[in-house]
Chain A
Amino acid sequence: MKSEVKTQPVSRSRGRRLGAFVFLSPGLTYLVVFMLVPLALVMSYTVFQRGRFGGVVYEFTTENFERLIDPLYLSVVGESLKIAAITTVLALLIGYPTAYLIAQLPPRWKTMALVAIVLPFWTSFIIRVYAWTILLSGPGLLNSALAKLGLGPFELLYNQGTIMAGLLYSYLPLMVLPLYAAIERLDPQLREASANLGASGFTTFRKVTLPLTVPGVLTGCMFVFVPSFGNFVVPDMLGGNKSIMVGNLIRNQFLSARDWPFGATLALALIAVLVLLLIAQAWAARRA
């Protein structure tokens, strides 16, 4: 930067600095005040004690971290990882073929198919999750249908499977879109060349299509995993307070248990997991 500035006329470099100040300072101030300062506060709370009715007593303690590594709470973090990971894999398994087929549809159908994928995403998130309680509840549609076949009734709601279904439903479009973008960008000649050289459809897919769409796969996986892992609305509505995820724990600490320091510690664990994953993703993307 510095050497560059020297080669430019003085007035231009002053203009640049003025421009940087005028355009960047309002937005950056906003980011500092409403995001960085709050995050710093949350981090600092992890070493303080809780006040009886919420708030914080500014006395140092390691109690929050001791509680975090209590198997009870660590297992919630582990279960959340598992739920989010399975959801992501399921989304990939049904999202990839879908995106692959959409990319090969004639243009007219392609647009329609894409809009149909995105459409549910633009409707109320809460309502989409609520729809599943109607489908799955004891007296709900699925059980009525099963009853006609002489089966059930089954308790379909309030377990980990229901939570996964709800998460998959909520975030599947976020998997399909980046996959579609990656597959669409592929040069069809590559696949034709592979076929002409005698490779079977599957070999072409494995050797050509899949490796070239890895960045799309990674993006899609992050798009599904991140909101799934930190979710509390879906487990709240579909897990019945019985199966919970780390998001519920955090929500409870802040809004009902009034234990801000422990909530902050759980949030730190959540962020740590996500940062590790982002690093892993960046590393994988560079290798691909």
Chain B
Amino acid sequence: MRRPKLLYVPFWLTYVFLYLPIAVLVAMSFNSGESAYTFEGFSLKWYGVLAEDERIKDGLINTLIVATGATVIATVLGTMLAVGLARYSRSKILDAVSLMPAVLPDLVLALGLLVLYGTIQLTLGLYSVVLAHGLFAMAFVAAVVRTRLTGTDTSLEEASRDLGAGPVVTFMKVTLPQLMPGIVAGALLAFTLSLDEFVIAFFTIGNGEATLPIVIYSMIRFGVTPKINALAAILLLVSFTAVIAGQRLTKIGESRAQD
């Protein structure tokens, strides 16, 4: 197969472009000076400063609470929605509506929810973010589970129904076990998306609360220190490890399946 040499220019450009800012970011986290811009010497002190930051700790806890709550809502409702749409509905409109939270710009969802909460005079808090994240994460879970549903054999479900089982029994005993890998994948996606979601959380969070992305955003607004870089480096490490571990696991799973 021919690979024109010229194509390697944009190819490598892409990777340099994607990784250069990250590399600089991590390098500056080891700065001994006060500035996030000019490197003065090697030091780990900012990691120590970071460990003592109450705000970041609180932000992290809030983020985990929100992501867990949203994942529960999204997984239960999204799975049911996917099954309902695939097995009991042929409406294209319902299909489109169920995908809308994933397609609409986050800003539009965010201000819609802000207006809703304002209109019904709801006092905002963490739970208002949980409900909001549940909405957009549900669309992703439904999409993932539906992909899995189209791949499953419907004859078992039909047999179950022919034997007199109602839709709920059929779902619990036949459909659900088949869907499990899809549901787990959807739940993981929902959790990850919620962890990093900023715009909707920014609009719908209550006074005095902050998720980690909001904490980082406001820290940056008030000026930058290598502390933020240290935090960034740790977050990068965590997500890189998670993605690569996930990749390895699927690989092992695949090779086992081949044996």
Identify which of A59-67, A68-76, A121-129, A206-214 touches chain B: A121-129
Interface string of A107-139 (1 = CB under 8 A from B): 000010001111110111111101111110111
B contact set with A: CB distance below 8 Å:
1-4, 7-11, 13-15, 17-22, 24-25, 28, 35-38, 73, 76-78, 80-81, 83-85, 87-90, 94, 97-98, 100-101, 103-109, 111-116, 118-119, 131-132, 134-135, 138, 142, 161, 166-168, 171, 192, 196, 198-199, 203, 212-213, 216-217, 220, 224, 228-229, 231-232, 235-236, 239-240, 242-244, 247, 251
Task: Tell me whether B37 and A140 are in contact (CB under 8 A).
Answer: yes
Tell me the dominant secondary structure on chain B's binding face.
Answer: helix
Contact count A vs B, C-beta below 8 Å = 252
Are B243 and A119 within 8 A (Cβ)?
A: yes
Q: A20 touching B243 by the CB < 8 A rule?
A: no
- Which residues of chain B have C-beta atoms less than 8 A from A270's C-beta? 105, 107-108
Is A30 a contact of B135 with CB atoms below 8 Å? yes
CB-defined interface of A11-50 with B at 8 Å, one 1/0 digit per residue? 0100110111011101110110111111101100100000
B25 touches A251 (CB 8 A): no
Which 9 A-B residue pairings sit nearest by Cβ, starting from the closest? A23-B84, A38-B112, A27-B81, A19-B167, A230-B105, A131-B21, A24-B84, A20-B88, A97-B10
Cβ of A77 within 8 Å of any chain B Cβ, yes or no, is no
Q: Verify B24–A131 contact, CB threshold 8 A.
A: yes
Asked whether, in the complex, the Cβ of A24 is within 8 Å of the Cβ of B224, the reply is no
Assess the B105–A201 pair: CB atoms within 8 A.
Answer: no
Q: How many Å from the CB of A122 to the closest CB on chain B?
A: 5
Task: Identify 14 residue pairs between A and B in the complex whose beta-carbon atoms are under 8 Å apart, listed by A's number.
Answer: A20-B88, A24-B84, A27-B81, A28-B94, A41-B112, A95-B14, A116-B18, A120-B19, A124-B232, A125-B196, A131-B22, A141-B24, A176-B14, A230-B105
With a CB–CB cut-off of 8 A, which chain A residues contact B167? 15-16, 18-19, 22-23
Contact of B3 among A101, A118, A138, A232 (CB under 8 A): A101
- Is A156 in contact with chain B by the CB < 8 A criterion? no
- Shortest CB-to-CB span from A243 to chain B, Å, is 17
A203 at the interface (CB under 8 A from B): no
Residues of B within 8 A of A22 (CB): 80, 84, 167-168
Q: Which of A169, A250, A260 touches B107 (beta carbons < 8 Å)?
A: A250
Q: Does A274 interact with chain B (Cβ within 8 Å)?
A: yes
Q: Are B105 and A226 in contact (CB under 8 A)?
A: yes
Given A130-B25, A134-B25, A141-B24, A28-B1 contact (CB < 8 Å): no
A contact set with B: CB distance below 8 Å: 1, 12, 15-16, 18-20, 22-24, 26-28, 30-31, 33-39, 41-42, 45, 55, 93-98, 100-102, 104, 111, 115-120, 122-128, 130-135, 137-141, 144, 168-169, 172-173, 176, 188, 201, 226-227, 229-233, 237, 247, 250-251, 254-255, 260, 263-264, 267, 270-271, 274
**Given A101-B3, A126-B216, are A135 and B20 also a contact pair (CB < 8 Å)?**
yes
Q: Is the CB of A101 within 8 A of B24?
A: no
CB distance B135 to A134 under 8 Å? no
Tell me the nearest residue of chain B to A30, going by C-beta: B77
Besides the contacts A34-B134, A118-B243, what 16 more A-B pairs have beta carbons closer than 8 Å?
A: A23-B84, A27-B81, A27-B98, A34-B132, A55-B118, A97-B11, A120-B18, A127-B231, A131-B21, A134-B21, A172-B18, A201-B4, A233-B198, A247-B105, A254-B111, A260-B118
